[in-house]
Amino acid sequence: MMTQLGLQGITAATDLIDVLETVEMPIVVVRRDFTIGGFNSAAACALNLLPSHMGRTCRDIPMLAGVPRLEQECNEVMAGGMESRVDLRDGARWFVIRISPHRKGNRQVAGTVLTFTNITAFRASTDQAIYEREFTKAILNTVADPLVVLSADQRIQSGNRAFYTMFALTRDQTQGLPLYEMGNGAFGPLRAQLDEMLAGNHAFQLVEVDHVFAGDQERTLIVNAHPLSLPGHSERRILVTFQDITARKQAEAAKDLRSEEELRRSEAFLAKVQQLSSTGGFYWWPAAGKTIWTEQVYRVFDLDPAAPLTTELRQSRIHPDDLPAHREAIQRAIGEARDFEYEVRLLMPDKSVKYIHSLAQPTRDAEGNLLYVGAVQDVTQHRRTEEALGKLRSELAHVARFSTLGTLTASIAHEVNQPLSGILTNASTCLRMLDADPPNVEGARETARRTIRDAHRASEVITRLRALFMKKSDAVESFDLNEATREVIALSRSELQRNRVLLRLELADDLPPVTGDRVQLQQVILNLLLNASDAMRSVDDRPRQAVITTARDEGDGVRLTVQDTGQGLGRQPIEKIFEPFFTTKDDGMGIGLAVSRSIIESHRGRIWAKPNDGPGATFSFSIPRSANGAHLKGP
């Protein structure tokens, strides 16, 4: 084998040749003229060299021809006597070629010796290591959260960019610093846990750390740690990560603050609403006899919220007259889980009375116990208002009557003065006849008779007036509507005359008697009649005519109608004219029709108006003959 190589000058040294043959490293001897001078087996194998390549120039060897600068390097090594290296890449294989001068015994450089070191495996692992390192570095520096690697004794080895930025320190300033000494000891508490973790006792538990950084910025960090084991190394390291949750904490705090504020506001709002509406709320567990009241209920009951809420205390406020009914309502609510609603009076310590409206709904609490959720409202004001309103309404009816009286003053004066005038005239005539010589006794008797008649007439007028204006009206009686109508006309005749109103009566002969408040109904008729008269005051181009008609109405009712030829209803909605204080008159109060409607409705009847086909309007009311069930307590 050695002969094949034909290494000059080495042939004698058989041992050395053997040595070279056993070397796995390819070796090629190159002559000064860049021709192959010899090679070992490893070289033959690695570079595909054949014995025939001996003496051929390296430029003809494909593997060597591809090595850049090989010939130049060889020349320089021969000239300078210094070793050199070049890289050879053959596909996936990498070699480092060491070019050494080949000295002969006389120290003359006869050429070069190329030794090939296969670095493929090394190259790959280095590449991988570099790649991994760079990749990891890139990741770490890209990660927004600060990271730091500690040695086993918790000293800082290296951190990512975010770490140095956060602490406003450089790599050099932190290198070798124990983490637990940083930040004025803020990270001190980590030390023991990190030791435990490294000892393998347990995994690291997240730690929240508040730390004041440069610029007085307090930040909250969540610190996490993982042990790092390096394969092939017994030494362990620690990766510590920091998550800055300051912004999240602040947002949460703000949200907490906000929702707390909202809650407070809605509570204040509810309290205000309860107070404004005089309504309080309660929970009541009948089985346990337990009650919870809101502040407003205490306020309504005028009890101290601090005092224990016993049944006795609650019932001490209930009006004695209402206590039995109250207890009964409570018992019913306990017995059957149903909605309940009742009113009760409270007797306050100052002897004032409050009206309380209470309603509740049954429900179940988390344990399934019957629970009532309810509201308590102080309706005293409401009740008082209702009472006052009722009183006001009846006073209004009085006012309406007396304003009618005012309208009728002239008419009434006329009705009274007329018979008085007759009395005076007749009495004077009577005296004169008796004083005559001879006395005219027959004439005197006649005039005395007329005097008495006129006195009766005057008395009748007064009686009618008293009935219509002085008498308290609440008497329900059966009466003839035609007769009542005639009485009203008698009183207002003069008023109609003054307004030049021609009145025509079309009263039904077969009208059945009606039951109701005669005086009130007369007031309505009078009101309709005077309205008709007023409506025609400005009419000059046609007769001022009013027609009063009575008739049986459909069913069992009677109807009265007043028709005029006046100015009509105008453009306003017809329903409006029955509303209080609606008036088209300069001197009207606008309560006449409103009171009339109130009276008719209290007789279970109805009142309406409609425009005539020609000029004017027609007002009608219809009432059942018998007003059974009607509310005749007053309009």
Partner 1 sequence: MVLRSLVSVVDDDESVRESLPDLIREFGFTAQSFSSAEEFLDSDYVGVTRCLILDVAMPGMSGPDLQRELTRRRHAIPIIFITAHRDDRVRSRVLDEGAVNFLFKPFSDSALLDALKTAFAEVEP
Binding site for partner 1 (CB under 8 A): 410, 413-415, 417-426, 428-429, 432-433, 436, 443, 447, 450, 453-454, 457, 494, 497-498, 500, 502
Please say which residue, 201 or 538, places its beta carbon nearer to partner 1. Answer: 538
Please say which residue, 346 or 408, places its beta carbon nearer to partner 1. Answer: 408
Please say which residue, 216 or 442, places its beta carbon nearer to partner 1. Answer: 442
Do 469 and 405 form a contact (C-beta atoms < 8 A)? Answer: yes
Minimum CB distance to partner 1, residue 616 (Å): 19
Sign (positive/negative) of CA torsion 606, 611, 612, 615? Answer: positive
Helix (H) or strand (E) holding 65: helix 62-65
Minimum CB distance to partner 1, residue 426 (Å): 5
Minimum CB distance to partner 1, residue 540 (Å): 13
Minimum CB distance to partner 1, residue 513 (Å): 31
Do 80 and 59 form a contact (C-beta atoms < 8 A)? Answer: no
Minimum CB distance to partner 1, residue 454 (Å): 6
Do 70 and 95 form a contact (C-beta atoms < 8 A)? Answer: no
Single-letter code of the amino acid located at 439: P
- What does the angle CA 15 – CA 20 – CA 25 come to, to the nearest 5 degrees? 160
Minimum CB distance to partner 1, residue 465 (Å): 15
Please say which residue, 501 or 593, places its beta carbon nearer to partner 1. Answer: 501
Single-letter code of the amino acid located at 214: A
Extended beta strands in 411-544, E state: 477-479, 502-507, 514-516
Minimum CB distance to partner 1, residue 395 (Å): 30
Minimum CB distance to partner 1, residue 538 (Å): 17
628 is written with which tokens?
């059974």
Minimum CB distance to partner 1, residue 411 (Å): 9
CA–CA dist 156, 142 (Å, integer): 20
Please say which residue, 565 or 596, places its beta carbon nearer to partner 1. Answer: 565
CA–CA dist 228, 81 (Å, integer): 50
Task: Name the residue with tokens 């009846």.
Answer: 394
Please say which residue, 500 or 610, places its beta carbon nearer to partner 1. Answer: 500
CA distances from 371 to 36, 279, 329, 360 (A): 110, 19, 15, 10
Max Cα separation, the chain? 214
CA–CA dist 32, 17 (Å, integer): 22
Please say which residue, 442 or 509, places its beta carbon nearer to partner 1. Answer: 442
Minimum CB distance to partner 1, residue 447 (Å): 6
Minimum CB distance to partner 1, residue 455 (Å): 11
Please say which residue, 237 or 493, places its beta carbon nearer to partner 1. Answer: 493
Do 342 and 327 form a contact (C-beta atoms < 8 A)? Answer: no
How would you class 56 by CB atoms within 10 Å of its CB: exposed for 0-12, middle for 13-18, buried for 19 or more? middle
Minimum CB distance to partner 1, residue 429 (Å): 4
DSSP per residue over 307-347, as a string? S---HHHHHTTB-GGGHHHHHHHHHHHHHS---EEEEEEEE
Please say which residue, 30 or 412, places its beta carbon nearer to partner 1. Answer: 412
Sign (positive/negative) of CA torsion 31, 33, 34, 37? Answer: negative
Please say which residue, 128 or 428, places its beta carbon nearer to partner 1. Answer: 428
Please say which residue, 54 or 420, places its beta carbon nearer to partner 1. Answer: 420
Please say which residue, 15 or 437, places its beta carbon nearer to partner 1. Answer: 437
Tell me the Ramachandran region of residue 495: left when phi exceeds 0, alpha when psi lies from -120 to 50, beta otherwise. alpha
Burial annotation 442-473 (CB, 10 A radius, 16+ → b, else e)? eebeebbebbeebbebbeebeebbebbbeeeb
Helix (H) or strand (E) holding 162: helix 161-167
